[in-house]
Amino acid sequence: MNTKYSIGYIGSSEARDALLPDARILNRDNNWVRPTVETTQAAMDNLSTDLGARLTGSLVNAPGFESYPIAGYTYILIRRTITTGNCTSAMELYRMFSFLLDSRLAKSIVTDLINAPLSGMVLKQVKKHALSEMRCQGEAVSELVAVRTSIENGSYDAWKVPVIVLSALFGVALIVLTVFLLYVKYKQNRSALRNAFVIRLNVVETAKSVGSLYTVASANTSKNNNSKTQNP
């Protein structure tokens, strides 16, 4: 700050922690803009259309009506080619960067820190020149991760196969039982409409003979009672 009329700046999260208010700054298109996610990403899109294989660039005084003029990138250095050791570390590194670049949770954390996630244009370049070009012992790390992910998902979902089979069998059994009950109900209704109930004859004859015996026995009992009454 030894230069006359110069200004200094700090990151938005540090300014928030220090309770410093942000400032509207006049950009190249004569528009006063505040430091927000949208104005920072506008600067990315207007000034970082082609970052090249090194993925480096400046966002200072970016063109565009909505571009914030004082912004910059945070860099992380990664090794694109790994020739020694196993590829587990390379795959985990790939997964970590994929999470940081694509996950909504990671983007929300960045936004909460009053920083801006990469814009769509810059994100495509990072995936093209960084993640897609990662190699481990001559193989693309992205393909190794895809194979590992499919294996993990297969072992994780192995329990679903017997559940699906049993559910299908249970469904078929339930359908068969329902059809059988409907058929029985249908037969009963047809029998009722046609008066086709069958009663065994031996049951009727037994009931009739029992009734006759009861009647005879009752008559004999009455005669005996009368005779006893007449004889002193």
What is the rounded CA–CA span in Å between residue 47 and residue 64?
9
- Contact present, 130 and 94 (Cβ < 8 Å): no
Question: What pLDDT was estimated at residue 207?
Answer: 46
The DSSP letter of residue 3 is S
What is the rounded CA–CA span in Å between residue 31 and residue 205?
112
Read off the pLDDT of residues 72-100 as tens digits, 9 standing for 90 and up.
898 888 888 888 778 888 888 899 989 98
- Contact present, 71 and 62 (Cβ < 8 Å): yes
> Which among 55, 60, 61 is positioned nearest to 77, based on CA atoms?
55
The DSSP letter of residue 22 is P
DSSP assignment of 82-142 equals E-SS-SHHHHHHHHHHHHHHH-HHHHHHHHHTT--PPPHHHHHHHIIIIITT-EETTEEHH
Question: What pLDDT was estimated at residue 218?
Answer: 47
What is the rounded CA–CA span in Å between residue 41 and residue 35?
10
Question: What pLDDT was estimated at residue 213?
Answer: 44
Question: What pLDDT was estimated at residue 219?
Answer: 44
CA within 13 Å, CB half, 228: 6
Question: What pLDDT was estimated at residue 39?
Answer: 93
Whole-prediction pTM value?
0.57
Per-residue pLDDT of the chain in tens (232 residues, 90 and over written 9): 577 877 777 878 788 888 888 889 999 999 999 988 999 999 999 988 888 888 888 999 999 999 999 888 988 888 888 887 788 888 888 999 899 888 889 888 888 888 899 998 999 999 888 888 899 988 899 888 888 887 777 655 566 667 788 888 888 999 999 988 888 888 777 766 665 555 555 544 544 444 444 444 444 444 444 444 444 4
User: Sign (positive/negative) of CA torsion 60, 62, 65, 67?
Assistant: negative
- Contact present, 97 and 130 (Cβ < 8 Å): yes
Read off the pLDDT of residues 191-202 as tens digits, 9 standing for 90 and up.
666 655 555 555
CA distances from 143 to 87, 154, 174 (A): 12, 17, 45
State both tokens at 6: 């110069």
What is the rounded CA–CA span in Å between residue 48 and residue 151?
38
Question: What pLDDT was estimated at residue 38?
Answer: 92
Question: What pLDDT was estimated at residue 229?
Answer: 45
Could you list the beta-strand ranges (E) of the chain: 25-26, 32-33, 81-82, 135-136, 139-140
- Contact present, 141 and 87 (Cβ < 8 Å): yes
Residue 197's φ and ψ, nearest 5 degrees, are: -70, 135
